Amino acid sequence: MTHRVAIVGAGPSGFYAVDGLLRANPDLHVDIIERLPTPFGLVRAGVAPDHQGTKAVVRQFDRLLALPDVRFAGTIEVGRDLGWDEVCEAYDAVIVATGRVIDRKLGIPGEDLPHVWGSWRFIAWLNGHPDFRVGPDLSQVRSIAVIGNGNVALDVARVLAKGAEEMARSDIVPEAEAAIAAAPLADIHIIGRRGPEHASFTGNELAEMGRLARAVAVTDPAALNVAPPASGPTPERLRKAKNLEILKGFAAHQPGSKPITIHFRFNAPPLAFRPGEVELAVGILPVDLVVTCIGYEGEPFPRQEGVYAVGWARRGPTGTIPSNRAESHAVAKEVLAWLVARDPKSRPDILPAAIDAAGWHRIDRHEVAAGAALGRPRVKLTDWPALLAVAQDD
């Protein structure tokens, strides 16, 4: 008998854990239990649709799905279709890789107004997540506040600002693309609570904001008068210094010189949202839509012997896709050490009927074929009935 390990969640951290386990012990059996019919977590539903290079990482995950002792079980949500206790009981070890995608709140008045959107809800919509099929009404939106100073804020602003030509080779869902193209957008304000030296943008993503065809990035040069990062070339200091250089370039741009102006506003904590405006500590800003990009929370999961967490479920909503690899591999080692001392359990298979890897590959082929006709990487299926019909259509 072989040990059986359940990985709950088919995002990058779950796949890196599978990789770590099977490199060290190819005799294990691994079940990847995923609530969606599609694997890859935030690579499919979070990473911006115009950053296809980043999404290419899924090829290495897909190869793991082809291994004989790896079983993909899509459309099974642990906590709904199977109890956590059942899963813990049935498997020799459980790795929780469920991520975190509940939009964090700022805790200020007006956050529940209909024109205030969390970044997850917004990005999941334009990425075709089947639970988020309705997007904001952009038809009258001229001015948008994007709250936050991380790369997700840049993703939101960039996808709104890009023109049709720049999105032509993306996999943004057609409804979202059409809504953005038809919006009378003129101003996007990226709002930071603190100064630019505290922003967590990365250089390449920030620099891209200065190269958009229909949008010009600007900022107030006075806001950039901050002490240079202390000397010594740590990666963090270099990143901050590079950001300041890029922002200085933006400060020389002319607002209004392209159809959309992206304003980087610093030291402007938001105090309240009201219809048509956001109150910042530095004054009132008229806006028609707000997207908050201030991080995420997660669902609880059991913390007991034999249960291990990886990725965003473990350490919170920070870190890029590759940064999950080393951690998942380290956790895989801990799991293997735990298993060595135990005999495999003899338990019946508890998985209900699920979408397997073949079902996912039918979805994949269908989407890629739909995209090929338009010169796009794929056109995603976005509703549950269509996803299930294609997955189950032998």
Ligand X SMILES: Cc1cc2nc3c(=O)[nH]c(=O)nc-3n(C[C@H](O)[C@H](O)[C@H](O)COP(=O)(O)OP(=O)(O)OC[C@H]3O[C@@H](n4cnc5c(N)ncnc54)[C@H](O)[C@@H]3O)c2cc1C
**Residue number with CB closer to ligand X (268 or 310):** 310
- DSSP-derived pairing of the beta strands 70-74 and 29-34: parallel
Tokens standing for 16?
């890196």
182 versus 330: smaller Cβ distance to ligand X: 330
- Measured CA to CA, the distance from residue 231 to residue 208 in angstroms comes to 26
Q: Which CB atom, from 35 or from 193, has the smaller least distance to ligand X?
A: 35
Nearer to ligand X, 73 or 289 (CB): 73
Cβ nearer to ligand X, comparing 155 with 285: 155
The secondary structure of residue 210, as a DSSP letter, is: G
Calculate the alpha carbon distances from 112 to 107, 149, 232, 298 in Å: 10, 21, 44, 19
**Smallest distance, ligand X to C-beta of residue 361, A:** 17
Residue 233 CB, nearest approach to ligand X (Å): 23
Q: How far is CA 226 from CA 244, 321, 384, in A?
A: 9, 31, 50
Task: Quote the least distance from Cβ 30 to ligand X, whole Å.
Answer: 14
CA dihedral 231, 234, 239, 244 (to 10 degrees): 0
Judge contact between 102 and 135, C-beta under 8 A.
Answer: no
How many CB atoms are closer than 10 A to CB 347? 12
Q: Which is nearer to ligand X, 118 or 270 (CB)?
A: 118
Least distance to ligand X from the beta carbon of 365, Å?
Answer: 20
Q: Given the rule CB under 6 A, which residues bind ligand X?
A: 8-14, 33-36, 41-42, 46-47, 51, 54, 77-79, 97-99, 101, 123, 152, 155, 311-313, 319-321, 324
- 316 touches 13 (CB < 8 A): no
**DSSP symbol at 344:** P
- Work out whether strand 102-103 and strand 296-297 pair parallel, antiparallel, or are unpaired: antiparallel
